[in-house]
Amino acid sequence: MPQHRPARRRVLVALIAALAWLVAAPGALAQGLVDPPDTVIDSPASGTRVNASTPIVFRAVGDGGGGFVCTVVGSGDLGCDSPISAGAFGLPDGPFELRIAAIASDGVTVDPTPATVSLVLDATAPQTTIAGAPPARSPSGEARLTFSSDEPVAGYRCAVDGGALNPCGAELALSGLADGTHQVLVRAVDLAGNPDPTPAVVTWSSDATPPDTRIDAGPFGRLTDPTARFSYSSPDDPAPRFECAVDGGAFSACAASGLTLTGVGVGDHVFAVRAVDGFGRPDPSPATRAWSVGSAPAAPVRATCASRRVLTVTLGSRRTPVRGVVATIDGVRVAATGRAPARVRVDLRGRPPGVAVVRVRGRTADGRLLRTTRTFATCGPAAG
């Protein structure tokens, strides 16, 4: 019996040592079977300003088959998968710290050194303002616009005349704009990447073309009538004002309804008219009309001057009644009978030698204008 005591003592010592090791490190057996995973956060980097939809991307190194645990410092734990949005934690705007630990496939072993990232949550969208823009009606094919926001921005996105939104700065310069209506839409994007959901919009009309002018009616060729009536217009919208000039004189304001010139002298004449738009720009190529006024041919005198000092000028016929007869001798109005036929008594007595020009006009019952011009020689007092 005494020979077995040393063996028993060795077994007892081994059992006591094993028990002591298990008591000292209860997870040693498991740790020896499954190595704890490591955790890596790929993006975003610490200090980044994020919005609610910004993805947080992470992964396990080693055995991470058991998933992940996300912990917001100062808040609770949340089972999570990569990627997870920054707004998934229900946090208010402001800084927060996130710890992420991978779990081994045994579901028990957890990364003892979780990955940590510090971020700033900004889930509030910016508001965009158009600080500078063209007037509602612009005389230019160019435009300069400036933008601002109620918070710091990463940039702006602009769309011109219904085009796609493209990155732009706080100032937008446009050139080569066609005449017509134009529109710019702009939205700010803040430092967290939040876009303004209600972009600012401005609309204006560009008119970089001076007005055009046309003469619709007026005399032309060679005439004997010293009166000239002109009508003119412009296709511009809104309607412009007009300026007229005669025989190379200075332009001056004239009515949009037209212009009548009276007492135009014998010779060649030129009428010019130009439209002036609301921006004060005149038509650079005024519309013109040239005509000439000549002397009426002298009517043959069948008797000597001395015996023909009282004459009669007839306008119309018995079948064409004439009303409203007006007659002048050398521009001075004289009496007319006003019956059909219209007869005007021309009294040349006492006139010095020379020429007397008689003009007569009147209208028929249906409104037609009749006119005639007669020229008579005057020879002074009759002999005897």
Q: Do 283 and 351 share a domain, yes or no?
A: no
Residues 6+ apart with CB under 8 A from 313: 327, 343, 344, 346, 358, 360, 372, 374
Mean pLDDT of 24-45: 72
Quick check: 117 and 82 in contact, CB under 8 A? no
- 180 domain-assigned: yes
| In a domain? residue 311 | yes
Establish if 6 belongs to a structural domain: no
Instruction: Provide the pLDDT confidence category of residue 32 given band limits of 50, 70 and 90.
Output: very low
Average pLDDT of span 51-66 = 92
Q: Which of 278-282, 288-292, 301-305 has the weakest average pLDDT?
A: 301-305
Residues 172 and 191 in one domain: yes
What is the tens place of the pLDDT at every residue in 318-351?
666 777 788 887 777 777 665 556 677 777 777 7
Residues in the chain: 384
Give the Å distances, CA to CA, from 221 to 225, 268, 269, 291: 11, 10, 10, 5
Q: Let me know whether 117 and 132 are in one domain.
A: no
C-alpha closest to that of 279 among 330, 350, 211, 367? 211
In the numeric block, which tokens belong to residue 69?
């645990």
Q: What is the pLDDT of residue 362?
A: 78
Residue 49 lies in a domain: yes
pLDDT of residue 54: 95
pLDDT: is 149 or 66 the higher one? 149
Residues 45 and 67 in one domain: yes
Side by side, the strands of the sheet bearing 228-233 are: 214-217, 228-233, 259-261
The two tokens of residue 262 are 């009276």
Q: How confident is the model at residue 377 (pLDDT cuts 50, 70, 90)?
A: confident
Provide the residue range defining the domain that includes 194.
Answer: 128-206
- Contact between residue 227 and residue 264 where contact means Cβ atoms under 8 Å apart: yes
For residue 82, what pLDDT is reported?
93
The answer on 260 and 197 residing in a single domain is: no
pLDDT for 211 beyond 70:
yes
CATH of the domain at 57: 2.60.40.10
- Omega of the bond prior to 341 within 30 degrees of 0, cis? yes
Residues 202 and 236 in one domain: no
Determine the pLDDT at residue 217. 94
Half-sphere exposure of 287 (CA within 13 A, CB side): 19
Tell me, yes or no, whether 255 and 221 share the same domain. yes
Highest mean pLDDT out of 6-10, 22-26, 31-35, 226-230? 226-230
- Is residue 9 domain-resident? no
Q: Taking residues 243-255, report their average pLDDT.
A: 96
The full 3-state SS of 223-248, as one line of letters, equals: ECCCCEEEEEECCCCCCCEEEEEECC
- 80 and 114 fall within a common domain: yes
Residue 14 lies in a domain: no
Task: Pick the last residue of a domain from 266, 293, 320.
Answer: 293
In a domain, 262, yes or no: yes
CB of 331 closer than 8 Å to CB of 263: yes
Contact between residue 68 and residue 39 where contact means Cβ atoms under 8 Å apart: yes
Tell me the C-alpha distance between 41 and 116, whole Å.
8
Sheet with 49-50, strands from edge to edge, namely 49-50, 115-121, 94-102, 68-72, 77-80
Are residues 322 and 271 part of one domain? no
pLDDT at residue 117 greater than cutoff 50: yes
Does any domain span residue 76?
A: yes
pLDDT for the residue numbered 319 = 65
Mean per-residue pLDDT over the chain, rounded: 84
Mean pLDDT of 175-200: 96
237 by DSSP, 3-state: which?
coil
| Mean pLDDT value of segment 161-177 | 96
150 and 84 co-located in one domain: no
- Please report, rounded to a whole number, the percentage of residues in the chain having pLDDT higher than 70: 83
149 vs 130: CA distance, rounded Å: 9
What is residue 17's predicted lDDT score, i.e. its pLDDT? 41
**What CATH number does the domain containing 325 carry?**
2.60.40.1220
Co-location of 151 and 186 in the same domain: yes
CB of 242 closer than 8 Å to CB of 233: no
Residues 321 and 362 in one domain: yes
Mean pLDDT of 355-370: 76
Asked which of 133-142, 193-202, 303-312, 350-359 is least confident by mean pLDDT, the reply is 303-312
268-285 tens-digit pLDDT? 999 999 999 999 999 999
Report d(CA 91, CA 110) in Å as an integer: 25
Query: 121, 147, 177: which is the final residue of a domain?
Result: 121
pLDDT of res. 28? 43
- What three-state secondary structure class fits 170? coil
Number of domains the chain is built from? 4
pLDDT above 90 (res 15): no
The pTM is what? Answer: 0.58
**Residue 19: its pLDDT value, please?**
44
Segment 135-141 shows an average pLDDT of 94
Comparison of pLDDT for 362 and 100, the residue scoring more: 100
Look at residues 148, 183, 206 and tell me which one is the last residue of a structural domain: 206
